[in-house]
């Protein structure tokens, strides 16, 4: 420290070179990049978002097949570990009733310019609002309606001020207009409060009853008894086929996911069995050891040998 050609920085120099807080422009740019990633990538599988796409109660987007693999507990390299998925979902998703499948309007006449082709994602699809025809994405505040799942630009729903979906005329309330990937804290808090309120009422995000709610079932003798639909019974119905799933598309996707999981398990078991067999000698290897010399099969003392 001194007389060695070095220098000692003063306080003024340290303060001048201290890290500066990001500007408003930098914050907006970082937020836009994050929005673009969330609009194009599934957080569970880290793959591009492709229809069918679902959303949870806070407006996050997921590939439906990734949600199915998480729910059935598939040990698949296509999705993150269960611990990572749990951290992302934060307990918001326990069944398919906790998500709503979104219905995007596809632009049938996309722009063929290089810029448009560069910005196009979702396997070449361009999602637009059916009312304003604006392209949906990080630059447009978008919402969807529960339970039908139709997606619009937020300004279209706000300006129309109706109580029926603009696409299917299904009635809805203002609470059931969900902002997709909200950036404002007020929108986030509103949607989280809505989820808690529905849970207290025994309802899920899709406005269906919780899986643990009691249902009345009529028997052949005319009597009725209260039975509870548990998650395990629902999982059993799902694994047995599509009998527990009313939506045909969901049933087909579930069957496909289960078939892929079954094939991977069989391949894993076959590989494990091969590794175990390699630890033991079969008849062929025994014959080779017997016919080999003492260097390959080991040296043994003859039975008639006597000790000296």
pLDDT digit string (tens) for 222-261? 444 444 444 444 444 444 444 455 667 667 777 777 777 6
Domain with CATH 3.30.40.10 in the chain: 26-200
pLDDT digit string (tens) for 75-125? 777 788 889 999 999 999 999 999 999 999 999 865 544 444 444 456 678
Helix or strand run (H / E) with residue 297: helix 294-297
Q: What is d(CA 70, CA 254) in angstroms, rounded to the nearest whole number?
A: 12
Q: What is the mean pLDDT of the chain?
A: 77
Look at residue 304 in the predicted model and tell me its pLDDT: 63
More confident residue, 262 or 134: 134
In contact, 207 and 146? CB cutoff 8 Å: yes
In contact, 73 and 81? CB cutoff 8 Å: no
Spatial neighbors of 57 by CB under 8 A, at least 6 apart, are 92, 98, 178, 191, 192, 194, 195, 198, 205
- CATH of segment(s) 26-200: 3.30.40.10
Q: What is d(CA 158, CA 136) in angstroms, rounded to the nearest whole number?
A: 16
Say whether pLDDT at 281 is over 60: no
**What is the CB neighbour count within 10 angstroms for residue 4?**
6
Beta bridge partners of residue 100, listed in sequence order: 55
CA 51, chain centre distance (Å):
13
């Amino acid at each position: 420290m001194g007389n060695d050609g070095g220098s000692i920085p003063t306080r003024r120099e340290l303060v001048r070179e201290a890290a500066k807080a990001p500007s408003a422009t930098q914050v907006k740019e970082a937020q836009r990049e994050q929005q673009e990633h969330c609009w194009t990538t599934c957080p569970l599988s880290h793959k591009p978002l492709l229809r069918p796409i679902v959303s949870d109660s806070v407006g996050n987007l997921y590939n439906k097949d990734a949600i199915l693999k998480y729910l059935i507990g598939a040990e698949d390299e296509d999705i993150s570990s269960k611990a990572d998925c749990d951290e992302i979902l934060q307990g918001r998703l326990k069944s398919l009733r906790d998500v709503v499948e979104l219905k995007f309007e596809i632009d049938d006449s996309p722009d063929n310019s290089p810029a448009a082709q560069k910005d196009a994602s979702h396997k070449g699809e361009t999602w637009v609002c059916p009312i304003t025809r604006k392209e949906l994405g990080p630059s447009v505040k978008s919402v969807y309606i529960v339970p039908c799942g139709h997606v619009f630009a937020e300004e279209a729903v706000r300006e129309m001020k109706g109580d029926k979906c603009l696409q299917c005329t299904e009635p809805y309330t203002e609470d059931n207009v969900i902002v997709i990937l909200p950036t404002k804290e007020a929108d986030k808090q509103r949607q989280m409060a809505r989820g808690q309120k529905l849970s207290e009422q025994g309802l899920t995000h899709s406005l269906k009853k919780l899986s643990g709610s009691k249902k009345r079932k009529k028997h052949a003798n005319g009597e009725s008894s209260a039975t509870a639909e548990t998650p395990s019974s629902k999982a059993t119905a799902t694994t047995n086929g599509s009998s527990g799933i009313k939506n045909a598309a969901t049933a087909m996707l579930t069957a496909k996911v289960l078939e892929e999981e079954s094939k991977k398990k069989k391949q894993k078991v076959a590989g494990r069995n091969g590794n175990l067999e390699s630890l033991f000698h079969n008849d062929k290897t025994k014959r080779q050891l017997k016919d080999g010399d003492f260097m390959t099969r080991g040296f043994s003392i003859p039975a008639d040998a006597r000790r000296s």
